[in-house]
Amino acid sequence: MKNTVLETAVGTEAEFFARGRRIAQRADRNERIPEAHVVTFEDPADLARLLTAARIGLFQAIKAEPASITGIATRLHRDRSAVKRDVDALLRAGLVSVETAVNAGHGNHKVVRAVASRVDLHVLIA
């Protein structure tokens, strides 16, 4: 994970496409396009449902030290099934990734990683 920023915002479909046009214009001018991940929610309530205090803490723990769901649950003193549900929600939102890693001599295991080094939240409720 480089110094990548994940921007999470509340916005409209028009704003989403406007951002795409700005990126395309930069590409047309052969300008560098900064690496960014953007997750946009049309409804602020959806963002609020996703980013609970437990999930924010989980994201911070994953960012600090990627690990298996079991390892994260142990580290956070949380039930594994609750951590799995929260990881699944963060995965669907694009905040984390789950990668398969090789266990030396013991098959494979899955490692949960943050997709960005920082998450910026932008909420405008009009």
Helices (H), the chain: 13-28, 44-50, 53-64, 69-76, 80-92
Q: Cα(44)–Cα(125) distance, rounded to whole angstroms?
A: 7
Output the pTM of the full model: 0.71
Angle at 89 between CA 65 and CA 45, to 5 degrees: 120
Fold classification of 5-122 is Arc Repressor Mutant, subunit A (1.10.10)
Q: Cα(29)–Cα(25) distance, rounded to whole angstroms?
A: 6
Predicted confidence pLDDT, tens digits, the chain (126 residues): 445 555 666 667 777 778 778 878 888 888 887 766 677 777 788 888 888 999 999 999 999 999 999 999 999 999 999 999 999 999 998 889 999 888 777 788 899 999 887 777 766 666
The answer to whether 89 and 62 are in contact (CB under 8 A) is no
